[in-house]
Amino acid sequence: MRSKPDIAFFGLVQPWIVSPPTEVASTRMFALRSRRARSPVSGKEGVFDYLDAPDWAHVAAITRDRRVVMIEQYRHGTGEVTLELPGGCIDEGESPAEACARELLEETGYSGEAVEIIGRVSSNPALMNNHTYTGLVLNAKPASGQNLDATEEIGVRLVPLDEVPSLIRAGVIHHSLVVAGFHYLSLRLE
């Protein structure tokens, strides 16, 4: 990952004082939590809800002929099939790089060189407390068959790397975390 710029950011707003959270609801993917918070500057306060979720990882795996290993899958949130980078939750005790390699192999059957973590974003800091890591795998090639979870249906598609920007512009690739991952990839390949 690149170093931070020399420009000093932050300091215009102070962190709020927060109470311990209470759990409102819980699912296998996340917990809905609530906590009271107060601004130390203005005294404004309120109750704020957020999703407590595990960190996620996805991987840009590039073949020798400069194609990106991507997946198509149905997403229940939007009710549509999306074109994405392979990825998922980082398991307890697993590093982001290990999760990238595992998800790539499970979802696509591909593997390659060692994973390089090239970026990290806050998944949605207004509502969630987790991060998404982007990994890079070079010289990706088929290594096995898919090993999907019981409820996964995933199609593997090899997309020429130079076509990705036009697919993003056209809205074919529209998953925000995947678009962020491709931004990190473009910075890495500069």
Mean pLDDT calculated for residue range 37-48: 97
pLDDT surpasses 90 at 9:
no
* pLDDT band per the 50, 70, 90 thresholds, residue 179: very high
Q: What is the DSSP letter of 128?
A: B
Cα separation, 2 vs 81, in Å, equals: 33
Q: What is the DSSP letter of 79?
A: T
The region that residue 12 occupies, defined by phi over 0 for left and psi between -120 and 50 for alpha, beta otherwise, is alpha
pLDDT surpasses 70 at 6:
no
Mean pLDDT calculated for residue range 104-120: 98
**What integer pLDDT is reported at residue 176 of this predicted model?**
97
Contacts of 164 (CB under 8 A, 6+ apart): 68, 173, 182
**What integer pLDDT is reported at residue 11 of this predicted model?**
80
pTM: 0.93
Q: Whose CA is closest to 146, among 71, 60, 67, 68?
A: 71
CB count within 10 Å of CB 12 equals 5
Most confident of 8-12, 115-119, 186-190: 115-119
Instruction: Say which amino acid occupies 170.
Output: A
Mean pLDDT calculated for residue range 39-51: 97
* pLDDT band per the 50, 70, 90 thresholds, residue 10: confident
Mean pLDDT calculated for residue range 82-90: 98
Q: Which domains does the chain have, with CATH numbers?
A: 17-52 (no CATH), 56-188 (3.90.79.10)
